[in-house]
Copies of this chain bind each other. A is one copy, B any other.
Amino acid sequence: MEKFFNPHSVAIFGSMKEGKTGFEIVRNIVEGGFKGKIYPVSRSGGQIFGLNIKKDFKNLDIDLAVIAIPSQFIPSLLENLGNKGVKSVIIISAGFSEVGNIEEEEKIKKIAKKYSIRIVGPNCAGIMNTECNLFASIEVRALKGRTAFITQSGSLGGAVLMMAEELGFGFSKFVSYGNRCDVDEADLIKYLQDDPQTKVIAVYIEGLKDGRKLLAQDKKALPKKPIIAIKAGKSEAGMRATSSHTGSLAGEDRIYDAAFKQTGILRVSDVGEMFDLSRGLIYYQKIEGNRIAIVTNSGGPAVMTTDKLEELGLVVPEPSPSLKNRLKSSLPPNISLRNPFDLLAYGSAENFAFVCEAIASEYNAIIVIFVPTAYMNSTKIAKALGKVKKRIKKPIFASFMAGRLVKKGIEELNSCGIPNYETGERCAKVIQKIVLQTSNLKGGRGA
């Protein structure tokens, strides 16, 4: 597997005409700044991005082959690569089992077996490793980050990369594995659980070929790294629409759901939640209980967040009488000290920091909801929270609402390691999953 992610040399097989898949992959690898050898291979010859296009690959030393030629020519190319001792091959080309051409896919599987070649694909969008600037894919190049994303659907992968770019969200690895004629989710998770760049593993699946293999693998992976899954094909119409509904682990979504719970995989319902949860897990891998505090200068959003937390099974309890008295003696009157702690117009950096620090011992996590006014400087509040976070050693989540008035504050939060979410409700969803993950790790699965 290592050569898929850290090859010394990559050969790309495909048309090198502008706009064609082969051309776009070479462009991505070159522009992405890959430091190893890059061999574009095409009968056309000529040059591309300052590289000579090889007509012949006999004498090339190839760690990783990326194939984007028409499907009917792939078996003989694979034979040649096998004879050369190439062990890692990505097949981007479509035209296999996804269009009913099962025979052709069986053919390449047989050749791969004969030469011990590992294949990612066919019908996939490729592989990225941001650590070594390898972008063996036609998709938008991922930013550097700590989440590994593996996806069955290539076009969903592309959409995720574009959404992530807009959010400034980065990835350690990206793998679109398509028809998974060989390398599958379980193989990838096994590799990623020991990848030091990856803190969180996120998976998009429509159906599994070998469910038991994945679930057994995930049980091993779980103690090392949290796994987030988006599983599509819940409804009957949705299953009909997945290409892989035949031969999947089970026809019914609730069986997946139970299996995810049993193995401690965190299921999310859409891509937005996947981003939210990944960002949370990068900063906070544990939340040791379900007592949540909300500190705010805005009643409305705090009430809505309280509702969401309680709906999700978390609690928003009042502070102890002694804590309440301590707070009362140090804060202006009228401030609500019953949790949510509503600082009203007294939401200064000092007061936000004071309350967060004072209440930390009685809660497992704190959500700070801040709505800016003309009087309040979001950067100052972010800085103060960053300092408090270091002292209290409890997770702080933020929802600085919204727009240009808090833009700098949110940048400051990022640099202090405090994740910010558009709404407090989104903080609540993330916290609930991390609490669940923590309880899973302690052996309390299914909680």
Residues of chain B with a CB closer than 8 A to A243's CB: 299
16 further contact pairs, Cβ within 8 A, besides A155-B301, A159-B401: A140-B405, A153-B303, A155-B373, A158-B298, A162-B402, A162-B404, A163-B403, A165-B404, A232-B300, A235-B311, A237-B309, A238-B316, A241-B302, A241-B339, A242-B299, A243-B299
Residues of chain B with a CB closer than 8 A to A323's CB: none
Chain A interface residue count: which class?
Answer: 35 or more
Residues of chain B with a CB closer than 8 A to A157's CB: 300
Q: Given the known A-B contacts A155-B299, A166-B402, A241-B303, are A272 and B375 also in contact in the complex, defined by CB atoms under 8 Å?
A: no
Residues of chain B with a CB closer than 8 A to A342's CB: 241
Q: Given the known A-B contacts A165-B403, A232-B303, A306-B235, are A153 and B270 also in contact in the complex, defined by CB atoms under 8 Å?
A: no
Partner of A155, one of B237, B297, B309: B297
Smallest beta-carbon distance A322→chain B, Å: 20
Q: Closest residue to A24 on the B side, CB-wise? A: B374
Residues of chain B with a CB closer than 8 A to A233's CB: 303, 307
Residues of chain B with a CB closer than 8 A to A269's CB: 425
Tell me the complex Cα distance, A303–B156, Å.
10
Smallest beta-carbon distance A147→chain B, Å: 17
Partner of A298, one of B138, B155, B298, B339: B155
Smallest beta-carbon distance A158→chain B, Å: 6
Contact B24 A401 (CB under 8 A): no
Partner of A237, one of B163, B297, B339, B371: B339
Partner of A300, one of B152, B299, B307, B374: B152
A residues with CB within 8 A of B: 19, 24, 94, 99, 138, 140, 151-153, 155-159, 162-163, 165-166, 204, 206, 230, 232-238, 240-243, 269-272, 297-304, 306-307, 309-311, 315-317, 334, 336, 338-340, 342, 344-345, 371-375, 401-406, 422-423, 425
Tell me the complex Cα distance, A152–B345, Å.
17
Complex copy number for this chain: 2
Q: Could you give 15 example pairs across A and B, Cβ below 8 Å?
A: A138-B373, A153-B298, A156-B301, A158-B372, A159-B298, A159-B371, A162-B402, A165-B404, A232-B300, A232-B307, A234-B307, A236-B310, A237-B315, A238-B306, A243-B299
Q: Given the known A-B contacts A403-B165, A423-B272, are A371 and B158 also in contact in the complex, defined by CB atoms under 8 Å?
A: yes
Residues of chain B with a CB closer than 8 A to A24's CB: 374
Residues of chain B with a CB closer than 8 A to A374's CB: 19, 24, 138
Most buried by B among A151, A302, A306: A306
Q: Given the known A-B contacts A155-B301, A301-B156, are A306 and B163 also in contact in the complex, defined by CB atoms under 8 Å?
A: no
Tell me the complex Cα distance, A336–B307, Å.
42
List the 5 shortest-distance A-B pairs measured between CB atoms, nearest first. Answer: A156-B300, A153-B300, A235-B310, A155-B298, A162-B403
Tell me the complex Cα distance, A213–B190, Å.
62
Tell me the complex Cα distance, A339–B344, Å.
51
Residues of chain B with a CB closer than 8 A to A306's CB: 235, 237-238, 241
